[in-house]
């Protein structure tokens, strides 16, 4: 346990002041001292360190009614960068973000053989190399690499314990990546990363609590309370795709039966469309037809949204978050999906007049997980110092 020595107090002061600069800036040194409760001399020393590091920059005098106008300072988001990557069933998606989490470069790799861990890792290294090459020169350089994986992840150990749709078990992904690159590496469930992305930059920025539903080949969820992800005692929190909604239902990839994922995923939506039309189509073709108003495509999305709405009703009853955000590929169903979910939520929840949960589509689209994965590195950099 760390005690309140001078080093710890200094770290706390720096973290508090930097958070205020990022959220309230541009500000003067005097304003920063007033907002933080830190004495002016300490704030001045902190600001000088930021200026030397490139984390802050002076932008000129601010308004003043009397005396000498104060010099304003602002946060410099281009002082450093972070890499974020999503491992999908059929490829990899990566972004390079600045310190605000804003993407400055994107790269995508299509791959059909990611169940083979060695091949997946080779493609992952290629993508990391491409993203690092795109990073501009910056005082802090690249702060870290975040990776989102569709499966159960032990975040503390950086181990992918079980990713059913990838057929991965007990893959020490963090150790594999840190063995090749000299950066801090963070590995988390892709829905957790998506939730963090929407909290940093998207539809959850103004929400104190949210659940992000990542619906594609499978279904996962990320839970954010305040600024913190809820991972649970064993990292299982948010695996709502495997809540059972039919005890005698169809088999699921997890080995169980009747899971929400079987009925409310993109895979199930495409299966419904195929049954109606008698033809197999890929997701791009399906969504193009949905956008064109194809009646069978609309009907398939509505039915899928109704099942998803049942799962979300259970989530609202159990957690009552301020916001539920629909993301990943199924969210390309747009207003058709959203209307179906809301209709079920309004009719099946006994607490409908009272729960105050709103449902919305994500704002980051397919980038949510990769941005959130990069935010894992940013969050670690900006976090308050640990006392343990």
What pLDDT is attached to residue 386? 61
Residue appearing with tokens 């894992």: 376
Mean pLDDT, rounded, of the chain: 92
What pLDDT is attached to residue 126? 96
**Which among 387, 384, 361, 364 is positioned nearest to 374, based on CA atoms?**
364
Residue 388 banded pLDDT, cuts 50, 70, 90: low
pLDDT tens digits, residue range 23-39?
Answer: 898 999 999 999 999 99
- Residue 224 half-sphere exposure toward CB, CA atoms < 13 A: 29
What is the percentage of the chain residues whose pLDDT exceeds 90?
Answer: 82
**Which among 174, 121, 219 is positioned nearest to 376, based on CA atoms?**
174
pLDDT tens digits, residue range 271-314?
Answer: 999 999 999 999 999 999 999 999 999 999 999 999 999 999 99
What pLDDT is attached to residue 2? 54
Pair 104, 157: CB distance under 8 Å? no
pTM of the model: 0.91
pLDDT tens digits, residue range 95-114?
Answer: 999 999 999 999 999 887 89
Pair 29, 43: CB distance under 8 Å? yes
pLDDT tens digits, residue range 135-164?
Answer: 999 999 999 999 999 989 999 999 999 998
User: What domains does the chain contain, in order, with CATH numbers?
Assistant: 6-75 (1.10.10.10), 79-195+369-382 (3.30.420.40), 205-362 (3.30.420.40)
* Cα distances (angstroms) measured from residue 219 to each of 229, 240, 271: 17, 7, 16
Average pLDDT over residues 326-339: 97
Both tokens of residue 76? 């410099």
């Amino acid at each position: 346990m760390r005690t309140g020595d001078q080093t710890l107090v200094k770290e706390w002061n720096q973290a508090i002041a930097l958070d205020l600069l990022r959220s309230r800036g541009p500000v003067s040194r005097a304003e920063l001292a007033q907002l933080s409760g830190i004495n002016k001399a300490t704030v001045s020393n902190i600001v000088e360190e930021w200026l030397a590091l490139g984390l802050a920059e002076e932008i000129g005098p601010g308004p003043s009614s009397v005396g000498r106008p104060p010099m304003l300072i602002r946060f410099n988001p281009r002082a450093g960068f972070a890499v974020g990557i999503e491992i999908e069933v059929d490829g990899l998606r990566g972004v390079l973000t600045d310190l605000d989490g804003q993407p400055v470069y994107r790269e995508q790799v299509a791959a059909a053989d990611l169940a083979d861990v060695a091949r997946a890792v080779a493609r992952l290294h290629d993508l990391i190399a491409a993203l690092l090459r795109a990073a501009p020169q910056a005082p802090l350089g690249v702060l870290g690499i975040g990776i989102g994986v569709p499966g159960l992840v032990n975040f503390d150990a950086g181990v992918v314990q079980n990713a059913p749709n990838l057929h991965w078990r007990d893959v020490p992904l963090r150790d594999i990546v840190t063995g090749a690159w000299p950066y801090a590496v963070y590995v988390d469930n892709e829905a957790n990363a998506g939730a963090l992305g929407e909290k940093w930059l998207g539809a959850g920025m103004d929400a104190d609590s949210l659940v992000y539903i990542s619906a594609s080949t499978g279904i996962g969820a990320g839970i954010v309370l305040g600024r913190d992800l809820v991972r649970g005692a064993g990292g299982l929190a948010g695996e709502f795709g495997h809540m059972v909604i039919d005890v005698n239902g169809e088999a699921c990839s997890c080995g169980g039966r009747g899971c929400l994922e079987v009925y409310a995923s993109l895979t199930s939506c495409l299966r419904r469309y195929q049954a109606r039309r008698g033809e197999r189509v890929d997701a791009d073709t399906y969504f193009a037809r949905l956008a064109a108003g194809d009646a069978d495509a609309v009907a398939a999305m509505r039915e899928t949204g109704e099942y998803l709405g049942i799962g979300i009703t259970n989530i609202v009853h159990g957690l009552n978050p301020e916001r539920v955000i629909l993301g990943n590929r199924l969210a390309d169903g747009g207003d058709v999906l959203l209307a179906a979910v809301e209709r079920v939520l309004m009719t099946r929840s006994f607490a409908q007049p009272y729960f105050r949960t709103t449902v919305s589509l994500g704002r980051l689209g397919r980038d949510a997980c990769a941005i959130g994965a990069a935010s894992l590195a940013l969050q670690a950099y900006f976090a308050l110092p640990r006392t343990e």
